[in-house]
Chain A
């Protein structure tokens, strides 16, 4: 249709201006997409958490231990299926730049409770048998080039000294959101070594947290209350919550940063709205005579509005598409550089939808004032602008 031809041709009439506007939109959508991906990555642990797992920790703080003896009492609570436990080790590889999550766990129960960590049966067996053995995620071993059988030394920042481990297995995530950068080793290795080094170490026979597998998601609250009730008024009172709430608690610690990122992502959209609105205002002012001619020929407000809105949509959506295309390699660069902090830095479909919605808002918002001016101008005044 001729009107569509006018619309598309108009969009690229001033190539420099359209090119610069497209560049601006592309960069804005790229920035918006990356910022939204950072937020998603931050919440990826929450998203990946299970509805049937509860976490029991010391009610004062996660940094205080709980006695190992709690395990058997927790097991007896109605609705509890299985119990595992672990301790945040806080070790680094070679130096502090090489940081990744590492935990001392009870291997058998831990692997049973986390079916999303997929491990070859022979590797699982080797890991269970070797007290100094560890398993690590696929991304972690790729980062450091470890091979099964390698001896890896971690430097303890909480449990001081050098700790040697033998790589017995490499797990991969069942879901895309499963963190493949973690390191798990035997809690007994940690406990026995602590006993050897210092018999009265405060973490001897203590664990950082319990993982409680409940029979059904709907009994979670009841089980949590039951566990916490067991240890009320004890020396180490517990706080039990769903794995999701536990993860959200971690995310909430950086809530201010996330809020700032969200605000910045919205500011980016407002800036680009202003840029596109400026472009549309300029193009409409230049073409006001042509719009007057179209009105003279009998084309109504709908056509004029359609031309301006359409032009705004064409430019913005093209910029949006380019921005989305650019987001994937940019995210890859981001993932390579900051993979240790954001193991799940994946551009999610939700982010792409948000890109599209933001672009639509920009396109429509930018065209409102120019369209209003173009349709309201008297034909005689519009024709006077020609010549």
Chain B
């Protein structure tokens, strides 16, 4: 990695988040502070309910902090309005979900094209970009297939193509291999590694799977809402 890449692309400072469950307030994240450098491949691990998905949602701008600040690419996303946040997500964040979350009524290429509808690209340009992204994930032969006609691994690769189509600042992945068999999981992880190594994409991944975490360069462990960098059972 170059020195330039090592500047923090995500800066998380004193972030706290809690949820209300009826009359109770359940703290989920407490005073989380850390930075993620550009080009990093970070895995967030922890038991269920430790707050790792919540932290990922906060970094990706799909949830709001109670306290603290999160800066991504120099922008304090905690100060953005709902509309500004939506626009910011459209251009700065690529999402990879556990259950792929493709739109079932759209073909693979249309799903990949979807985020480009919020850009000023022409129809032809959108299609060219989408086909290129599908080529990167080795799915050129499946462009016209609907999600229901694809395997789990293929669907996740379409989701990755959709995530990278806008060339986002960060890629966030929530249990990307959680619904895949071992072979497909390896394919997807290999693809993510390539995106990180060859294209310099910053990836933040939540996972329960130690094998997936092993592919990351850095691991952060969350437990009961606290960050524990030097966890004794760190599998890395």
Q: Answer whether residue B57 sits at the interface, using C-beta atoms and an 8 A cutoff.
A: yes
* Pairwise interchain contact A297-B106, C-beta atoms closer than 8 A: no
* Pairwise interchain contact B114-A297, C-beta atoms closer than 8 A: yes
10 contacts between A and B (CB under 8 A): A3-B117, A297-B162, A298-B86, A298-B115, A299-B86, A300-B83, A380-B54, A380-B62, A383-B97, A386-B97
Stretch at the interface among B38-46, B87-95, B218-226: B87-95
| Chain A residues whose C-beta falls within 8 Å of the C-beta of B149 in the assembled complex | none
Q: Answer whether residue B98 sits at the interface, using C-beta atoms and an 8 A cutoff.
A: yes
Q: Could you tell me the distance between the alpha carbons of A383 and B54 in the complex, rounded to whole angstroms?
A: 12
| Chain B residues whose C-beta falls within 8 Å of the C-beta of A295 in the assembled complex | 62, 86
Q: Which range holds the interface residue count of chain A?
A: 20 to 34
Q: Could you tell me the distance between the alpha carbons of A317 and B171 in the complex, rounded to whole angstroms?
A: 42
Within 8 A of B (CB), among A1-30: 1-3, 5-6, 9-10, 13
Q: Answer whether residue A364 sits at the interface, using C-beta atoms and an 8 A cutoff.
A: no
* Pairwise interchain contact B86-A2, C-beta atoms closer than 8 A: no
Contact of B115 among A9, A290, A297 (CB under 8 A): A297
Contact of A5 among B99, B106, B115, B179 (CB under 8 A): B106
Q: Could you tell me the distance between the alpha carbons of A298 and B110 in the complex, rounded to whole angstroms?
A: 16
* Pairwise interchain contact B113-A2, C-beta atoms closer than 8 A: yes
Q: Could you tell me the distance in whole angstroms from the C-beta of B115 to the nearest C-beta in chain A?
A: 5
| Chain B residues whose C-beta falls within 8 Å of the C-beta of A296 in the assembled complex | 60, 62, 89, 95
Given A296-B95, A379-B63, 4 more pairs with CB closer than 8 A? A10-B105, A293-B97, A295-B86, A297-B118
* Pairwise interchain contact A298-B90, C-beta atoms closer than 8 A: yes
Cβ-closest chain B residue relative to A297 = B115
Cβ-closest chain B residue relative to A381 = B63
Q: Could you tell me the distance between the alpha carbons of A5 and B106 in the complex, rounded to whole angstroms?
A: 8
Q: Could you tell me the distance between the alpha carbons of A294 and B229 in the complex, rounded to whole angstroms?
A: 34
Q: Answer whether residue A121 sits at the interface, using C-beta atoms and an 8 A cutoff.
A: no
* Pairwise interchain contact A293-B86, C-beta atoms closer than 8 A: no
Q: Could you tell me the distance in whole angstroms from the C-beta of B140 to the nearest C-beta in chain A?
A: 20
Q: Could you tell me the distance between the alpha carbons of A290 and B100 in the complex, rounded to whole angstroms?
A: 11
| Chain B residues whose C-beta falls within 8 Å of the C-beta of A349 in the assembled complex | none
Q: Could you tell me the distance in whole angstroms from the C-beta of A362 to the nearest C-beta in chain B?
A: 24
| Chain A residues whose C-beta falls within 8 Å of the C-beta of B91 in the assembled complex | 298
Within 8 A of A (CB), among B104-120: 104-106, 110, 113-115, 117-118
Contact of B90 among A5, A9, A13, A297 (CB under 8 A): A297
Cβ-closest chain B residue relative to A302 = B83
Size of chain B's interface in residues, with CB distance under 8 A?
A: 28
Cβ-closest chain A residue relative to B178 = A387
A342-372 interface bits toward B, Cβ cutoff 8 Å, 1 = contact, 0 = none: 0000000000000000000000000000000
Q: Answer whether residue A289 sits at the interface, using C-beta atoms and an 8 A cutoff.
A: yes
Cβ-closest chain B residue relative to A12 = B105
Known: A295-B86, A297-B115, A299-B118. A2 touches B106 (CB 8 A): yes
Q: Could you tell me the distance between the alpha carbons of A383 and B95 in the complex, rounded to whole angstroms?
A: 12
Within 8 A of A (CB), among B25-78: 54, 57, 60, 62-63
| Chain B residues whose C-beta falls within 8 Å of the C-beta of A1 in the assembled complex | 117
Q: Could you tell me the distance in whole angstroms from the C-beta of B144 to the nearest C-beta in chain A?
A: 14
Q: Answer whether residue A378 sits at the interface, using C-beta atoms and an 8 A cutoff.
A: yes
Known: A5-B106, A300-B86, A380-B57. A387 touches B98 (CB 8 A): yes
Q: Could you tell me the distance in whole angstroms from the C-beta of A130 to the nearest C-beta in chain B?
A: 74
Cβ-closest chain A residue relative to B91 = A298
* Pairwise interchain contact A293-B101, C-beta atoms closer than 8 A: yes
Q: Could you tell me the distance in whole angstroms from the C-beta of A316 to the nearest C-beta in chain B?
A: 20
Q: Could you tell me the distance between the alpha carbons of A2 and B130 in the complex, rounded to whole angstroms?
A: 13
Q: Could you tell me the distance between the alpha carbons of A300 and B88 in the complex, rounded to whole angstroms?
A: 12
Q: Could you tell me the distance between the alpha carbons of A380 and B55 in the complex, rounded to whole angstroms?
A: 11
Q: Answer whether residue B121 sits at the interface, using C-beta atoms and an 8 A cutoff.
A: no
| Chain B residues whose C-beta falls within 8 Å of the C-beta of A379 in the assembled complex | 57, 62-63
Cβ-closest chain B residue relative to A375 = B82
Q: Answer whether residue B103 sits at the interface, using C-beta atoms and an 8 A cutoff.
A: yes
| Chain A residues whose C-beta falls within 8 Å of the C-beta of B57 in the assembled complex | 379-380
* Pairwise interchain contact B97-A290, C-beta atoms closer than 8 A: no
* Among A290, A293, A294, residue most surrounded by chain B Cβ atoms (within 10 Å): A293
Contact of A297 among B95, B105, B179 (CB under 8 A): B95
Q: Could you tell me the distance between the alpha carbons of A295 and B103 in the complex, rounded to whole angstroms?
A: 12
Q: Could you tell me the distance between the alpha carbons of A296 and B114 in the complex, rounded to whole angstroms?
A: 12
* Pairwise interchain contact A2-B114, C-beta atoms closer than 8 A: yes
Q: Could you tell me the distance in whole angstroms from the C-beta of B16 to the nearest C-beta in chain A?
A: 16
Known: A296-B89, A298-B87, A379-B63. A5 touches B110 (CB 8 A): yes
Q: Could you tell me the distance between the alpha carbons of A387 and B53 in the complex, rounded to whole angstroms?
A: 15
A280-302 interface bits toward B, Cβ cutoff 8 Å, 1 = contact, 0 = none: 00000000011001111111100
